[in-house]
């Protein structure tokens, strides 16, 4: 049985070159998890790192030289789909979760703000908009989205745009300034 704990996103800023509103991007990752109906007990981390750290990770895990903008490191291979699982059994509504239930750890999203800043300048975007896109992109990778084939790329880009629009609307509704 899966616990009914709310999704948890942990954020960390391990770089100093570009100011990052970590809590804003934690909220964005939480929105993506909710909208994608990730398991209620899902956990992930969003970590902002410097260019050397992302370069080291890029070379070590993807065997590609130089820095990149975002990397996603999935941890649990068997993420259960969100929602009720009819054949799963359980103790009934309102029952306390089994204390041995472990959270579903989706993985880590690692973002490099200095690379994002360069890309934003090249594309004429605000840095926060580029960072938001990278966070969504990384979380979607943890949820099995990919862009190896043209149809997958289109599906992922469409979903990124939908989620970013929903996040902007939620920020506007909360009275916060939208970065658009």
Q: What is the pLDDT of residue 94?
A: 56
- Among candidates 5, 8, 4, 17, which has minimal Cα distance to 111? 17
Q: What is the pLDDT of residue 75?
A: 87
Contact criterion met (CB below 8 Å) for 167 and 28: yes
Which pLDDT tens digit goes with each residue over 53-97?
999 999 999 999 999 999 999 985 554 444 444 444 445 555 555
Contact criterion met (CB below 8 Å) for 75 and 106: yes
Q: Answer yes or no: is pLDDT of 98 > 80.
A: no
Q: What is the pLDDT of residue 179?
A: 46
- Among candidates 35, 65, 40, 63, which has minimal Cα distance to 51? 65
Query: Which structural domain, as residue segments, surrounds residue 58?
Result: 8-85+92-173
Q: Is 2 a domain residue?
A: no
17-21, 51-55, 100-104, 175-179: which has the minimum mean pLDDT?
175-179
Highest mean pLDDT among 75-79, 134-138, 147-151: 134-138
CATH number assigned to the domain comprising residue 61: 3.40.390.30
* Structural domain total, the chain: 1
Kindly provide the b/e burial profile for residues 150-164, where b requires at least 16 CB atoms within 10 angstroms of the residue's own CB: eeeeeebeebbeebb
Q: Is 3 a domain residue?
A: no
Residues forming a β-bridge with 11: 46
Which pLDDT tens digit goes with each residue over 6-17?
789 999 999 999
Report the distance separating Cα 69 and Cα 72, nearest Å.
Answer: 11
| C-alpha dist (Å) from residue 53 to 7, 47, 68, 109, 166 | 27, 11, 10, 13, 31
79 vs 125: which has the higher pLDDT: 125
């Amino acid at each position: 049985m899966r616990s009914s704990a709310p999704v948890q996103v942990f954020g960390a800023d391990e770089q100093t070159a570009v100011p990052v509103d970590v809590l804003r991007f934690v909220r964005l990752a939480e929105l993506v998890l909710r909208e994608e109906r990730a398991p209620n007990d899902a956990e992930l981390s969003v970590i902002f790192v410097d260019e050397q750290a992302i370069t080291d990770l890029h070379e070590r895990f993807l065997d590609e030289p130089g820095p990149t903008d975002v990397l996603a490191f999935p941890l649990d291979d068997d993420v259960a789909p969100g929602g009720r699982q009819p054949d799963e059994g359980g103790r009934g509504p309102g029952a306390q979760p089994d204390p041995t239930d472990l959270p579903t750890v989706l993985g880590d999203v690692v973002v490099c703000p200095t690379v994002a800043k360069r890309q934003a300048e090249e594309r004429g975007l605000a840095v926060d908009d580029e960072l938001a896109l990278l966070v969504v992109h990384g979380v979607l990778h943890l949820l099995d989205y990919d862009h190896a084939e043209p149809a997958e790329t289109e599906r992922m880009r469409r979903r990124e745009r939908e989620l970013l629009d929903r996040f902007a609307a939620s920020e506007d509704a909360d009275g916060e300034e939208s970065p658009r």
